Structure 1
Amino acid sequence: MNNIIKYGSIEGIPLYNCSGLTPEEWSKEKGYPRPIAGTIDMTYGITMNILYLPILSVMFEPENFKMSCFKIMTFLGIVDMLALWVNSIITGFLAYQGAVYCTYPNLIYITGMAGLGLWCCSCIIAMSLVINRLLDLTKESLCKFLFDGSRTYAILTLPIIYGSYFVFFTTPIAFSSYHLTWFFDPLIFENKTQEYTNIPHGFNNLLVVAVTCLLYASFCCVLGEKVREIEGPTKNSSLSTQIFFQSALICAVNQVASVIYVIMNFIEVPLWLIMLGHMLWQTGHGAPVFIYLGLNKKIRTGVLKRLGIKTESMSGSVVPAQAAV
């Protein structure tokens, strides 16, 4: 964003100047139409966003939204939905067209800024959520001090500021239909990859996501201990194991996607690995839908009621879910 202000327009930024060829010529030379993959991506993004709507409506219920964890989960859900527009719906459209950066420079530049900011924002939201749950189990007084009432909104300004930094002051990602993913290098000029390097993004992916995974591990250990204290180790060992593997899976998806995205922007890697990284980014933002519906009884019951399906009233524990690249 700062370069748009500096040079007056996206086309005016020297490293993003597409004047060498027409948009059609850029697509023909650098792109590769992928109608099947594009359709799948768009279908996935639209489906996940539709499934998210009843989940968010349950989270917004007064009895739920008054809880700090539901405020954080709601914000994470909104960010996930917006991110799915970037990494699935718009990506699918661009892949279907066989587009590259210079095919739709304005659309891709702005979408790339948004996608990067949303990913980094979601990383901090996920960290806030697991810290909230961890403190609620171990330091209840501190949890209330930090998150009670409107204080949660103050906490949530941090991921907004963090994500905005990436939008305004760092290099955006740019789409390539040939690789079916987003790179920092828009692939306009030869041998200029290093000039598009985004060091803060590497910091986010390698450090912030790793720290969040460590917090997840701590959460699992504390929660497992609490469960054993309340109802005995034998009865709830399966629950503790379920929570552990759920959290481990979320962390694995996000961590692998994060590492792949850092590596592929510095060295050449196989196409299948690049596509895997993108799929994991999509999964990181879509997986919470299945986690909430499958493992959170309160949300699942609320959604079923909205669908007119009668079910017994149940209250479930809130399990943190994280979003990706």
Structure 2
Amino acid sequence: MNNIIKYGSIEAIPLYNCSGFTPEQWSARNGTQRPIAGTIDMTYGIMMNILYVPILAVMFEKEHFKMSCFKIMIFLGIVDMLALWVNSIITGFLAFHGAVYCTYPNLIYITGMAGLGLWCCSCIIAMSLVVNRILDLAKESWCKFLFDGKRTYLILTLPIIYGSYFVIFTTPIAFSSKHLTWFFDPLIFPDKGPEYTNIPHGFNNLLVVAVTCLLYASFCCVLGEKVREVGGVSNKGSLSTQIFFQSALICAVNQIASIIYVIMNFIEVPLWLIMLGHMLWQTGHGAPVFIYLCLNRTIRNGVLKRLGVRMDVAESSVAPVN
């Protein structure tokens, strides 16, 4: 963003000057039309966004929205929906047409800024959510001090500021249909790749995501301790194990995607590994839909009620765990 202000337009930025060829020539030189992959990506992004709507509607219900964890989950869900527009819907459109950066420079530059900022923003939101859950279990007074009432909104300004930093001051990602993913190098000048390096993004992927995973591990330890304190090891112990594997799966997806994206921007890697990294990025923003619907009974029942499905089983028999 700062370069747009500095030079007056995207086309005027020296490292993003596409005047050497026409957009059609750039696509023919560096792009590859991928209609099947593009259609799949667009379908996935649209479906996940549609499924997210009733989930967010349930979270916005008064009895849920008053809880700080639901406020954070709502914000994370909105960021996920916006990110799916970048890594799935717009990506699918670009892949379908065999686009490269210079095919749609304005669209890809702006989308690349947004995608990078949304990813980094979601990392901090996820960290905030885990901290909220840990404090709620271990230090309830601290949780109330930090997250009670409107204080949650103040906490949520941190990921907004963090994500905005990447949008304004760092190199955006640029799409390549040949590799079916987003690189920092727009592949315009073959000898200037190192000039597009984004060190803060590498810091985010290797450190922030790793810290989030450690927080998830801490959350599982705290939860296990609470299970032992209250007894009922058979049922609650299995629930603790289930939550642990859910958390571990989420962390594994995000961590692997993060590492792949850092590596592929510095060294040449096989196409299958690049595509795997991109699919994991998509999964990181779409997986919460399945987790909420399959594993979070409160949200699942709320969605079913909105769809007119009656729940005959008494919910009071087993306490829900969100």
Task: Please state if 1:74 is matched with 2:91.
Answer: no
Q: For 1:261-307, what per-residue CA distance to the aligned partner results, in whole angstroms no more than 9, with x for missing partners?
A: 00000000000000000000000000000111111111011000001
1:317 paired with 2:318, answer no
Match of 1:59 in 2: 59
Deviating more after overlay: 118-127 vs 290-299: 290-299
Contact 1:26 1:102 in 2 (8 A): yes
Amino acid at match of 1:160: I
- The answer for the alignment partner of 2:41 in structure 1 is 41
Root-mean-square deviation over aligned CA pairs: 0.9
Say whether residues 1:26 and 2:30 are aligned partners.
no
> For each residue in 1:237-256, what CA deviation from the matched residue of structure 2 results, as whole angstroms up to 9, or x when unmatched?
32121111111100000000
Shift of 1:313: 5.7
Partner-residue secondary structure (3-state), 2:18: coil
SS of the equivalent of 1:175 reads strand
Structure 2 partner of 1:120: 120
Greater CA deviation, 225-234 or 24-33?
A: 225-234
State the distance in 1 between where 2:34 and 2:230 align.
Answer: 54
Deviation at 1:154, TM superposition (A): 0.2
Q: Under a length normalisation based on structure 2, what TM-score does the superposition of the two structures give?
A: 0.97
1:208 aligns with 2:208: yes
1:169 alignment counterpart: 169
- Distance in 2 (CA, whole Å) between partners of 1:138 and 1:239 is 18
Letter in 2 for 1:4: I
- Partner Cα separation in structure 2 for residue 272 and residue 66 of structure 1: 44
Letter in 2 for 1:124: I
**How many pairs does the alignment contain?**
318
Measure, in 1, the Cα distance between the counterparts of 2:156 and 2:307.
31
- The whole-number CA distance in structure 2 between the counterparts of 1:286 and 1:191 is 36
Partner residue in 2 for 1:284: 284
Q: How does 1:101-116 map to 2 (within 5 A)?
A: 101-116=101-116
Look up the equivalent residue of 1:283 and give its one-letter code. Answer: T
| Superposition deviation, residue 226 in structure 1 | 1.2
> Is the 1:56–1:74 contact (alpha carbons within 8 Å) kept by the matching residues of 2?
yes
State the alpha-carbon separation in 2 of the partners of residues 34 and 185 from structure 1.
Answer: 21
**Kindly, what percent of the aligned residue pairs are identical?**
84
Matches within 5 A, 1:140-151: 140-151=140-151
Whether the 8 Å contact between 1:301 and 1:313 is mirrored in structure 2 is: no
State the SS of the aligned residue for 2:242.
helix
Superposed CA deviations along residues 124-167 of structure 1, whole A, max 9, x for unmatched, are: 00000000000000000000000000000000000000000000
Structure 2 counterpart of 1:26, one-letter code: W
TM-score normalised by L of structure 1: 0.96
Q: Distance in 1 between matches of 2:145 and 2:66?
A: 15
- 174-183 or 216-225, larger mean C-alpha shift: 216-225
Partner of 1:322: none
Q: Which runs of 5+ in 1 are unaligned?
A: 319-325
Residue aligning to 1:298:
298
Q: Does 1:94 align with 2:98?
A: no
* Structure 2 unaligned residues grouped into runs of 5+: none
SS in 2 for 1:182: strand
Give the distance between the partners of 2:70 and 2:51, measured in 1 at CA.
Answer: 17
Distance 2:34 2:226 in 1: 50
1:200 shift after superposition:
0.3
Counterparts of 1:175-186 in structure 2, within 5 Å, are: 175-186=175-186
Q: What is the distance in 1 between the residues matched to 2:156 and 2:216?
A: 19
The one-letter code matched in structure 1 to 2:320 is G
CA apart distance, 1:191: 1.7
